[in-house]
Amino acid sequence: EVRLVQSGAEVKKPGESLTISCQGYGYGFNGFWIAWVRQMPGKGLEWMGRVDPSDSYVDYSPSFEGHVTISVDESINTAFLQWSSLKASDTAMYYCARPLGNSGYEYYFDYWGQGTLVTVSS
Amino acid sequence: QSVLTQPPSASGTPGQRVTISCSGSSSDLGSNTVNWYQQLPGTAPKLLIYADIQRPSGVPHRFSGSRSGTSASLAISGLQSADEAEYHCAAWDGSQNVYVFGTGTKVTVL
């Protein structure tokens, strides 16, 4: 059974750093990209970027580049999303998701993690 | 990064047919297929329709999709209370190499 299991909820203060994770089970982890998706409270979904576990290549959405860092450790089947200095506006639910392909008509998410709620408040 | 435009809400009584629209541009819906995700309250999104019209295993035939030009739509026939959820369209944008989501539509069963 394919599963993406994310790390637990986090409560942080502005300016703190944070790394959340997404571990894949039940499939060849190196064979599929992992993407990160943000959902701010009461809002829609936003694609943040993606990583290819086979070579650690990362693509960012222009809206998120420079604000977060996406990485992967294929030896433990885990992708990461990292902030060096959190802001209150980073408060959101963050999902990892696995696309079938890498672009075009094959780019859709057939598996999602359960989500990690990040709350940033002083 | 552009987003796809959806109506904020849609509603119907049990058994009715509800349609949700999704409007994009030549670089996303005009060039690539649309996907739809259903997000039940408090849960992660789930793939509902992919490649315009395809249903993953387990998705009822009551859900159907279509795409024409730079627009797409999702239809729910025989509406049920279990269909109360947020629905998101999405497509690959080949000009920016990003995946764009719609603004989301909340479906209410009256």
pLDDT in tens, B21-39: 999 999 999 999 999 999 9
Q: Is A110 exposed, middle or buried (0-12, 13-18, 19+ CB in 10 A)?
A: middle
A63-72, A97-106, B66-75, B98-107: segment of lowest average pLDDT? A97-106
What residues are paired with A121 via a beta bridge?
none
- When scoring A1, A36, A45 by the number of chain B Cβ atoms within 10 A, the one with the most, hence best to mutate, is A45
pLDDT for res B2: 65
Of A62, A103, A108, the CB nearest to B35: A108
Backbone angles phi, psi at A31, to 5 degrees: -85, -5
Amino acid sitting at position B90: A
Q: What is the mean pLDDT of residues B32-47?
A: 97
Q: Which residues of chain A have pLDDT under 50?
A: none
Task: Tell me the shortest Cα–Cα distance from B105 to chain A, in angstroms.
Answer: 9
pLDDT for res A103: 84
Q: What is the C-alpha to C-alpha distance for residues A116 and B40, in angstroms, rounded to an integer?
A: 16
pLDDT for res A101: 86
pLDDT for res A106: 87
On whether any CB of chain A is under 8 Å from the CB of B40, the answer is no
Q: Is A91 exposed, middle or buried (0-12, 13-18, 19+ CB in 10 A)?
A: middle
A119 neighbors A14 (Cβ within 8 angstroms) = no
pLDDT at B60 exceeding the cut of 70:
yes
Residue A101 DSSP code? S
B2-6, B35-39, B84-88: segment of lowest average pLDDT? B2-6
| Pair of tokens at residue A109 | 């998410």
Q: Which residue has the tokens 């502005």?
A: A14
In this complex, do B46 and A46 lie within 8 Å of one another by their Cβ atoms? no
Q: What is the mean pLDDT of residues B94-105?
A: 95
Task: Tell me the shortest Cα–Cα distance from A34 to chain B, in angstroms.
Answer: 13
Positive or negative, the CA dihedral B102, A2, A33, B31 is negative
